[in-house]
Chain A
Amino acid sequence: MAFPKPQATLRSATGIPTGRLAVWWLLASEVVIFGGVLGSYLMHRLGHPEWAEAASHTNTWIGAFNTFVLLTSSFTAVLAHQAAEKGDGKKAAGFLVLTIGGALTFLMVKSYEWTVEILEGFTITANGFWSFYYTAAGLHALHVIAGAIIMGIVAADAYRGRELQRVELIGIYWHFVDVVWIFLFPLLYIAK
């Protein structure tokens, strides 16, 4: 696929390469999306003392384990970035594959957790707490899935030594997904 790149991808008028600027721009919009969901949840939670009862049914250990998984995957993502900057595409791809492994582990744990909860009758319509629980964590899980797919594409290129700058870009996105979870964890699991 050898076609010329659009001019914009080659310049950096702001001092930031265009691709990375675009990622920041995307994240700025994500801040509003997740901020809106989490802010709304927080307000409703404070206005509904009775939600504490519902929240007491979430499993802190599963939440903590998934936090561990995401922190670890952020670590491998940044190691991939470091390798890419040294020009080592194979190593970068290897770290990205580890990161994808983290994403899959996270999703498997999440499916187990949700299955148990749904079977206990805690469905998305059970009450306001559970609505926010599935909406916020579900939106986050969709980001995990999207990230894993994009990382697969970036890793395949990086392995052949192509488009190494993208390793950093997907990494920035991935760390953001991690940061969102860092806030979801205390909001949904610890505050009981």
Chain B
Amino acid sequence: MAEHHDQHGAHGAGHDEHAGHHPNYKKIYFTLLGLLVVSVVGPVFGIVWVTLISAFGIALVKANLVIQNFMHLKWEKRIAKWFLTASLVLMALFVGGVSVDVLNHEGNNWENIAAQAAVERGLAAAAGEEVVEEEAAEPVDVGFNAPNMFNLVCASCHGAAGDGKGAAGLALDPRPANFTDPAFWAERDRARIVNVITNGGASVGRSPLMVGWSASFSAEQIEQLADYVETFRPGA
């Protein structure tokens, strides 16, 4: 490190070579106001590319005028430009990285049902059509499918085969129930299964690791899950 730091004294701006640059601010200010008028008038014509250029192109020009001349970045040391650019680049990386997922509402292995429904509802409403109330009232039912739901939330413990050997289940004590074991079914009836899925293991004196799902699923959905659990029963 150089021992020779600039000692600026109390004002801190003593030998600042950046100081003293004062372009014609009034001229820049009026240019900015002129550009503002253009950006408001441009979209009036309703031509897409005119709107895009007059709104966003001009925003870039205005921002650049302010940054270079009012913020004096034009005369600033290069290091400031570098780290401002660095943070812009990082921000662009973030936006670019997630954009494919946000812009699209479906991909190879996924589908954003809620977003698709929102677009549909919104466009219908904008077109003045009656929004069908039922659609909005029961959003959870959209695409509920017991096997998929079991694989999504239950299989981590119970295993996709229902044998209690899910990846997370292996670590639990007691182990998750094995629905493929005849002994399991010997002691349990349908009402018991529905009750456990609804209220959890603790409600029947079993492990609280098996939580109740009444907050996540409707009674109808729990019946469907119970149906699916019964498909693992040997001989079912």
Residues of A within 8 A of B (CB): 5, 9-19, 21, 24-25, 27-29, 31-32, 35-36, 39-40, 42-44, 46-53, 60, 64, 67-68, 71-72, 74-75, 77-79, 82, 85, 127-128, 164-165, 168, 171-172, 175-176, 178-179, 182-183, 185-186, 190-192
Instruction: Indicate which residue in B5, B95, B105 contacts A40 across the interface (CB closer than 8 Å).
Output: B95
CB closest chain-B residue, reference A13: B5
- Shortest CB-to-CB span from B79 to chain A, Å, is 5
Q: List 25 A-B contacts (CB under 8 A).
A: A10-B5, A12-B6, A24-B76, A28-B87, A32-B94, A35-B91, A36-B94, A36-B95, A39-B95, A42-B95, A43-B99, A53-B122, A53-B126, A64-B40, A71-B62, A74-B29, A75-B26, A75-B29, A164-B11, A165-B12, A183-B59, A183-B63, A185-B59, A186-B55, A190-B43
Instruction: Indicate which residue in A12, A42, A182 contacts B5 across the interface (CB closer than 8 Å).
Output: A12
Instruction: Indicate which residue in A5, A27, A85 contacts B19 across the interface (CB closer than 8 Å).
Output: A85
- Shortest CB-to-CB span from B113 to chain A, Å, is 14
CB closest chain-A residue, reference B15: A12
Interface size on B, residues (CB 8 A): 66
The docked-state distance in angstroms from the alpha carbon of A6 to that of B131 is 64
* B191 CB–A CB distance under 8 Å: no
B125 close to A165 (CB less than 8 A)? no
Residues of B within 8 A of A (CB): 1-2, 5-13, 16, 18-20, 22, 25-26, 29, 32-33, 36, 39-40, 43, 51, 55-56, 58-59, 62-63, 66-67, 69-72, 76-77, 79-80, 83-84, 86-88, 90-92, 94-95, 98-99, 102-105, 115, 118-119, 121-123, 125-126
